[in-house]
Each structure stands twice: as structure tokens, then as C-alpha cells.
Structure 1
Amino acid sequence: MKSYIDKISKLLKPKEIRHEIHSFDSGVFMVDIWINNEFYCIQLFDNKFGISKVTEGIDFSTIPDKTYIHWKDFEMELKKILVTL
């Protein structure tokens, strides 16, 4: 999953998007992303990709809003979010 973290970083860095990468002993990675006034959490776990929009009205959950099995599907979703810049 580490190689996918590098791919995510390559998508974010050119746009100077603030992000933080977290790794856990379980092998799970999380990427926190701040786009304008919105906060997203990306989760990489069990060969899956998850993404959640975190808002004040919704408690943070370890279960992603959307889950993808294939990188290309996840990448398309992330790029849709990045287009809002």
C-alpha cells in the first residue's frame, strides 16, 4: 500500500494541498487532506481504498464513506475532488 501513498502524494503536491500521512502497525495508512475549508480522510486498508469527507455534523468514523477495490476507480474519485480547486 505504500506505493499508493506515493501516488496520492504526487497528485497532491503540485497543487500544494495540505496533507498529513499516518501509518499504523496494522499496515493501514491514512492521509488527511485539507482542501479549501473541507477535510477529507483517505484510508488504505486490506488492499482497499476508502475516502470520507469529515464535517462538524458527522463524527469521525473508521468506516469510509466510499470504498474502492481498484486503484483507478479510487483515483478517479480523488481527482474529482481535486478539480474543485
Structure 2
Amino acid sequence: MHAFFMISGLMLTALLINIPLGYLRQGCEKFTFGWYFYIHISIPLIIYLRVKAGFSWKFIPLTLGGAVAGQLIGGFIHRRRQNNG
């Protein structure tokens, strides 16, 4: 049960870190340096947290899913704020 809460917390952390980065990414032109930067800057922190929590590489898809979800949510928020003025 403890491992479940640890991996859930890690996924939630990845999601929360990537929401503001997804928001900022949405303001950049696609495939520019800034666009790549905002997508990849959280990866070292997520890897560090995963290793410190004691999880193997088998949990990478879960943390990656949290990061992608955060990017998508942040981009959605940016687009919605742009459309509403």
C-alpha cells in the first residue's frame, strides 16, 4: 500500500510540475528552442524523484503519463484563456 501512495504522489508531482510548463509551452512557436525546453525541463527532476523514491525504470511510463497530462492541461488552460480574452 505504501508503494501505491508513493507512485501516486510521484505521478501527481509530475502532473503539477508540468501544468505551468505546458502553459508556457503553448505560448511558444512549435519546434523552437523554448518549445523543446518547456517540454523537457521537468524530466531530470522527475527522474531524480523516481530514483530517490526507489522505483525502477519500469515505472517510467506512469511518471511520463503524469508529465504529458500536465503538459496537455497547461496547454488547454492557455488556449482557453486566450480565447476568452
TM range (shorter): under 0.3
Larger radius of gyration: 2
**TM-score (norm. length: structure 2):** 0.27
Greater percentage in helix: 2
Question: Which structure has more RCO (C-alpha within 8 Å, separation ≥ 6)?
Answer: 2
Query: Which protein has the bigger strand share?
Result: 1
TM-score under structure 1 normalisation?
0.27
